[in-house]
Structure 1
């Protein structure tokens, strides 16, 4: 994992700002349908996170993206314009890892159950969830390793698989 993070660190531009593409290029519109844009309403205001669809009714993101009201937007290429492909889904249940620590960002992973916070993808497989880093996109960025949480992810998704609101 460290060699990959070092490679990413060298590719990132120190002058990049939020909302810019860092060390890459714009994806072909709608070529990443699993990507989610997450809007979080909390007592201090609105913040946004990235996430990705892991099943038709679960999104994975970072636990620090928890808030009182969360909406997931799927099918967006440009979030600043209303596209006919966009789906806005209110989150029914946020499930942060039980060992999440806000102080040191340990276990910074969360599942969001919807009615129907960005991944690190290597060889078309999600390997990590962005945990924290510099707001300007400069290295080092820290990722929570998904594979370390697979037992919890599977247990949690099984437990809530049959639950549906009335």
Structure 2
């Protein structure tokens, strides 16, 4: 939505006026921190002059499909990027990754994940955050395995 707004030559303040919210809320909407309904997506698209109805329909469906999943239990424990990654994986049709320095997160065992977080590039983590990161990684792994075993 942000790219569509920018393509239309509008500011976040202009977009906020289209849906009667303040600029800060519009920024949160565009960043995906606040979800909106399909009607809001359609209003913004109309205000941006988007004429591709297929694109607008796809964006509206995406807005409706925004899921509050298992990863939300970690919202007060982990950085936002961890939650975003789990949500993106949840909605993905497939995942391709190449990592040459370590085993990909979705393939790590609990012991390996713990070692990665204990000895990684970040500063030493408090035990609670270390345990949360490992538990989150294991749930990502389990959710991915379950999802990939189910036909789409």
TM-score when normalising by structure 1: 0.26
TM-score when normalising by structure 2: 0.27
Greater RCO structure (CA 8 Å; 6+ sep): 1
Choose between structure 1 and 2: higher strand proportion. Answer: 1
Choose between structure 1 and 2: higher helix proportion. Answer: 2
Over alpha carbons, which structure has the higher Rg?
2
